[in-house]
Amino acid sequence: MRNPIIKNSGFTLIEIIIAISILSGIIFVVSMFGLDIFDLQIFLGDIFVVQQEITATLTEMGIEVRAMGPSANGSYPVESASTTSFVYYSDMDGDGSFERIRYFVVGNVLRKGVIKPVGNPATYPLADEVTRDVVRDLILPPVADQPLFSYHDGNYTGTQEPMSEPVDINRIRLIKVVITADKTPQDNLGRFDYSSLMLIRNLRNI
């Protein structure tokens, strides 16, 4: 009586190696895809933060500039103006008292400082300034195309060059603010350029 032939239905070593290689490739592709999705989520989140910071700052500053006026001690509405700093007086909270407002750059951050007047006659102690970051990852010239702040007099019609530095603060009637920011400055994928023209209403007829 012949012994029955038993067929081995298992995998050969080569088949196992090939299967492991294919499975490893699939796992690698899936993991890389998941990593890309995660990176994309971070990138989009960063873009959203940049947009929020810029739009909030321009909106806030626009309201303040339009409502500029003399300080509580009678000083001129504009204290100083340069391409990276702008200091002025405005009733930012509607309480009838004009705060000293300063926008200035520290490194790659645009900051805002506010001083409330105290005493009679009113003063603005520099030690009382409350500051906060308003736009981070700021980009300035020469990388950015335009300066952060530029200024025009009452003759501006849309084509004139801005006033040259040092700026004569008594002639300023219009401020152009251009904010360029990018959390990944090594490329332009997340770069944003927002600009706004702000008219000083209380000085336009002077």
Q: Please check the confidence at residue 1 and state whether its pLDDT lies above 90.
A: no
26 domain residue, yes or no: no
pLDDT of residue 119: 92
Range among 1-15, 91-105, 176-190 rated most confident? 91-105
CA atoms within 13 A on the CB side of 78: 22
Task: State the residue range of the domain holding 178.
Answer: 39-203
pLDDT of residue 12: 65
188 domain residue, yes or no: yes
Contacts of 60 (CB under 8 A, 6+ apart): 134
Mean pLDDT of 154-179: 92
Q: Please check the confidence at residue 123 and state whether its pLDDT lies above 50.
A: yes
Note the pLDDT tens digit of each residue in 50-79.
888 999 999 999 999 988 999 999 999 999
pLDDT of residue 186: 64
Q: What is the mean pLDDT of the chain?
A: 83
Contacts of 3 (CB under 8 A, 6+ apart): none
Q: How many CB atoms lie within 10 A of CB 67?
A: 17
How far is residue 45 CA from its own chain's centroid? 14
Amino acid present at 129: E
7 domain residue, yes or no: no
pLDDT of residue 144: 85
pLDDT of residue 3: 52
Note the pLDDT tens digit of each residue in 5-56.
445 555 566 656 665 666 666 665 555 555 455 555 555 556 777 888 999 9
20 domain residue, yes or no: no
2 domain residue, yes or no: no
pLDDT of residue 35: 47
Burial (Cβ within 10 Å: 0-12, 13-18, ≥19) of residue 175: buried
Note the pLDDT tens digit of each residue in 133-146.
999 999 998 888 89
pLDDT of residue 183: 76
Q: How many CB atoms lie within 10 A of CB 27?
A: 10
pLDDT of residue 18: 63
Look at the block and give the residue holding tokens 């090594």.
186
pLDDT of residue 6: 46
Number of domains in the chain: 1
